[in-house]
Every structure is written in C-alpha cells, then in structure tokens.
Amino acid sequence: MASFVFLADLHLGEGCASAATGYLRNDTSCYSWAHLNATVQKVNAIIDSRRASSPVGLVLVGGDLSASAQPSEFATAKALLDRLAVPYLPIMGNHDVWSYSARGDWTATPEGDSLFAATFGDTFASAAALSPQSVFVYPNSTAHSPSCNCSTRFQSWEFRPAADFDRHLAGLTFLAPDWNTRLRAPPPCPNPSHLPVGGCGVPGQAALHAHAGGVMPWFESRLQAIAERGAQMGSVLLLTHQPFRCRFPIPDWAFCFSTNDKASVRAAIDRHGQARSFFGQLAGHQHRWFHGDAFDEAEWKGFVQWENSAVKGDVSDGAMASSFSVFEVELGHVVGVTRFWQEHGTWKTQAVDIEIRRDSVESASGLRSPARSVPTPPSVPLEYAQRFSMSDGSTGLLNYDWPHRRQRVAHSNSTASRKSQCFFWYNTTEPCIEYFTSNSEQYVYFPNEGSCCLESCADRCPSWMNVSDGSCCREAAVGLPRPDSAAQCEYNSTVTWEGMLVYWFHCPACLNYYFDEKMRPRLFWANDHQYEVRFDIDSLRPGPQPADVFALPESCSPAVKCKGFNASPKIVCDSSPGRHR
C-alpha cells in the first residue's frame, strides 16, 4: 500500500505582527506559523515511520495558504512546506485571491493568483518532473474574468501519478479546478468588527468561471481526457477549497456552491460519463472535520465530501489545530483514512471507516468488500429526560414528552472560544432555554435576564415535530427522532468514533445518528452539518416528565419576536430518510 496526506487552511500570517513591517517579512512567533511548523514536523515523522509499509508519496494542500494573500505570507508558507520530505501540490483558497490588510485591499483587482503562481512556480515545475510517465497539467494561463472585469490567472491543475512514481498511487487522478470567486467582498472594507458581513478580499463562495478561457471549459476538457484514457471506479479525487455543501446554518450559496453550480458540475461529469470514476471531493474552508455525501440526489449517493479541519485551528474546538488526514491507497483505490490533530501539544488520531464507492467492482486485493450486517434502529422512548454535551463544550438537559407534543431544551452558557447553541442562534453567551409547545410554537427564554421571545419556527413546521412532510425545523434537531418515524432511519455505515465502533444511521429531519454496539445513542449531527450532540448514556431517564418542567415563564409572549436567524433561508428536507436539499 501507499498513502498521501491532505491538509488545508494554513492562514499563514493570522495572529502575526507582520503588518508592523508593512508585510516585508512574516512574523514567526505567532500561532499560524507554529501550527504549520508542527504539522510539517509531524507529517515528516509519519513519512519516516512509513517508509517500509504504506509510504507517503505526496502531500496535497487544500487552499488558504495565506491569511490575506500577502507576498510575505505566501513566501513563509512555502518556506515551511518546502521542508516536507515528499513532493507537495497546493491549491488556492479564497484568502489567497486578493491582497489586503487592516487598511483595506492593496490592489484594484485580485492579483493573488499571480502571486501564488510566482511563489509556487518551482513547486509546480518540480511536480511536472516527478516521474517521466506521470501526467501534470498546469495551464497557468491568463484570461479575462467577467466577475471582476479584470485579467486573472486561474490556478487549476491535474496530476496523474504513474507506476514509476508509485505503483499504488498510479491510477489515481487528482483534479484541482480553481473555483474561487474573483468578486470583491461586500463592503465595508476595512471592517474591524466584521459585522454586518462584509470585508476585504473576496467572499467565501465558489464560482465555476464558465466563461471562455475560464475554469469550467478546462474542467470539461480534463473530464474528456479522463474518459478517453479510462479510469477505475472511485479513482478520481476532486480537490477544491470550498466543499459542495455548507455546515448548518450557513446557506450553500453563501459560502460553498450554489444549487445551480452543483447541478452544473454534476451535469459536466455526467456528459463525459465519469460519475462512477469519482471517489469524491477533498476540501477545507469550513475549518471542521466532516465526511458524508456531497450531493442529495439518490444517484449521486457515495460521492464523498471529505473536509479537513484547519491547520490554523478548528472552527468549534479552540484546542484543536495542526489537523491533517492520511489517505491509504491500494492499487489506485482509497481504502482508508486517518485523521491527525494536536490538542495542547498532544497529538491525537482517529481512524475513519469511510464508505468507498465500489458497488460490484472487486477491491484492490481481488476480494469483494465484505458485506456488513445491517442493524435495526432502536425504539425511541415516548417520554424521557437526558443530559447532553455539544462539540463546542457546552452542556444541556433535554426533557421530551411526545404524548403531549412538547419539549424543553436547556443550554448552558458559553465562552468566546466555545459557543453554545444560544450563541449561534441568538448571539449571546448567556444560557438559554428553548420551549416547544403543542401548538407548534417555539419560545426562547434567557434566565439571567428574565426575557423571552417567540421564534418563527412555526412558519417552517406546520405540525409539532413534523419530519415526514418535508419540513425541517430546529426542534427536530434535538433529541431522538419522533417515535413514529424512528423506523424510517436508514443504516449508512459502521464507523470508528473515539476508539469505538458505532453504527451510523440517516434518520428523518436531516439527522445523522450514531449508536453503540448496544444500540444506545451516542451522538448525532444535524442537517449533515456541524451541530454535534453527544448523549450522556447514564443520564437517560425514561418515563413521564413533571408538568411544571414545560410551563412557559411569565415573560413569554407571542407578541415578542426573537431577533435571531429567523430570516435565514429555510432548510427543506425531502421525504426520504436522511436526505435533504
């Protein structure tokens, strides 16, 4: 076997005092430099330890190498990456497109791609000479971009290692279209508060650049080349900075790929008959760990969206940094993935039993993948109380009463680095309690202030806890699914979580549940996004709940509306279990 490493979101320059020198040099006594330096050292240690078995042949860097596309940031990132003991190939991220600082944009148009090309020109030249039989396509050509009405240099590339590079990596294709937008970010710039949303550089969403000389025509040409030479099932890995789907509650169009752009990518792949050639997508951007289906359409189930947490630090866990993944490959097939990260200087690992697109194709070892027994989803208590904790470090207590159609969810307070559900929805670090009533109302009570407001959730959920008519509401994303729909949960796979095998189910209301070997709920992810709840198994208390637990505080009135994310685009689930669009 062989392996390759994937890392993303270095953000070199973030937290550094580089501005004091006019970005003439990069500060090296800051966390972004320290986290990348630690990552490079750890990757090199893994490379050294695997020389005899499953050697690492390549490192892929998934964008946002810089914090603000400054030449010194690119140069410092390159100096550290050049210490890697094997070849590496970088792509651009949205932070790499337009040079800016606290005083605003440095240029009238985005020129980060030219800086990127100049900085990593010798890296790409070395890649082209990695082996005589390998294929490396890197146009690095100038084209007019209508989005900025300017000249741009798209940094797309394709690498196809051959047997003289590594016999196990041979057969893989790494396809890296530069789908970063060239639009200017919405004002104000500079924006010290970052509220409302606005700032310098470019915004976070992807753009296909389907115009003449753009990225989409190049992407189609590479798909045609793949079709002409033939590709094994699951052997093409799409390397992009933005993932196709965003974490909850961020709309896909705002920070990832719009519905139309996702449809265009799928249509292009279909036109060239290559849907089954793709393993899926490797991405960063959201600074979180995630893997699941990239698309909702049934025929695209198994097209993996793999996201790495950021080298510079995780979006939810302030203690996590220096993250990367090691992909195991056997004769042109990905056969396993292991996550690595640091917490307070201590390295952690987690093996991930990712679903590989094989269908009826034989595995690289000549044996078919073993059939797994499919466990039956457990029954759900009609009434219970249970404590939970979230990945952000906050805790809470859930009281659930299905016969009377009511629920109470008490969230603890949070901190600046560990933000609870109260913060994400209501922009406060104070505790909050959510009450869900039998008439489909959702009230949010803030005990420290004694205030209460009505959430407009009823507009999206016409009946209490309704998860079978296509609605998707936040109260359905806490606790177990409604009892009469638990049987609709669909087994997905068996994965390793914190050293334990757990059963992964897709359930109604866009939920992903993980049960242990005794079919006890361990955690769930709501909406296939980063809203993780870990259940305290020992605290589960089935049975009727005290009526006063669900009594609304006196300050709760339908006349007082919450000022949270009520105006955000609504999330809709289709009627099939575990699917949403």
The per-residue pLDDT for range 337-381, each reduced to its tens digit, is: 999 999 988 999 998 877 554 332 222 222 223 334 556 666 667
Indicate the range of 206-210, 391-395, 555-559 predicted with least confidence.
Answer: 391-395
Task: Check whether 211 has a pLDDT greater than 90.
Answer: yes
Mean pLDDT of the residues in the chain: 79
Q: Which residues pair with 523 in a beta bridge?
A: 514, 534
pLDDT category of residue 17 using cuts at 50, 70 and 90 = confident
| Residue 352 confidence (pLDDT) | 85
pTM check: above 0.75: no
Check: CB of residue 40 under 8 Å from CB of residue 30. Answer: no
Q: Please state which of the four CATH numbers 1.10.287.1060, 3.60.21.10, 3.10.129.10, 3.30.360.10 is assigned to the domain occupying 2-352.
A: 3.60.21.10
Phi then psi for 314, rounded to 5 degrees?
A: -80, 150
Q: What is the mean pLDDT of residues 132-143?
A: 91
Indicate the range of 125-139, 196-210, 375-389 predicted with least confidence.
Answer: 375-389
| Residue 539 confidence (pLDDT) | 86
Residue pLDDT, tens place only, 442-497? 888 989 889 998 876 444 443 434 333 333 344 343 444 455 555 566 666 666 66
pLDDT category of residue 20 using cuts at 50, 70 and 90 = low
Instruction: Mention the CATH class of domain 383-550.
Output: mainly beta
Neighbours of 367 (CB within 10 A): 8
| Residue 315 confidence (pLDDT) | 82
Higher pLDDT, residue 489 or 157: 157
Phi then psi for 547, rounded to 5 degrees?
A: -60, -35
Task: Check whether 119 has a pLDDT greater than 90.
Answer: yes
Task: Check whether 37 has a pLDDT greater than 90.
Answer: yes
| Residue 192 confidence (pLDDT) | 62
| Residue 333 confidence (pLDDT) | 85
Higher pLDDT, residue 27 or 547: 547
| Residue 366 confidence (pLDDT) | 28
Check: CB of residue 465 under 8 Å from CB of residue 401. Answer: no
Helix (H/G/I), strand (E/B), else coil: 167: coil
How far apart are the C-alpha atoms of 29 and 220, rounded to whole Å?
44
CB-based contacts of 172-175 (< 8 A; 24+ apart in sequence): 172/235, 172/236, 172/237, 172/329, 172/332, 173/226, 173/231, 173/235, 173/236, 173/237, 174/60, 174/89, 174/237, 174/239, 175/219, 175/222, 175/226, 175/236, 175/237, 175/238, 175/239
Q: What is the mean pLDDT of residues 276-282?
A: 92
Domain map (residue ranges) of the chain:
2-352, 383-550
Q: How many CA atoms lie within 13 A of 92 on its CB side?
A: 33
Task: Check whether 174 has a pLDDT greater than 50.
Answer: yes
- H or E stretch at 226: helix 215-229
How far apart are the C-alpha atoms of 511 and 501, rounded to whole Å?
19
Phi then psi for 160, rounded to 5 degrees?
A: -125, 95
Task: Check whether 328 has a pLDDT greater than 90.
Answer: yes
Q: What is the mean pLDDT of residues 242-251?
A: 84
How far apart are the C-alpha atoms of 356 and 302, rounded to whole Å?
7
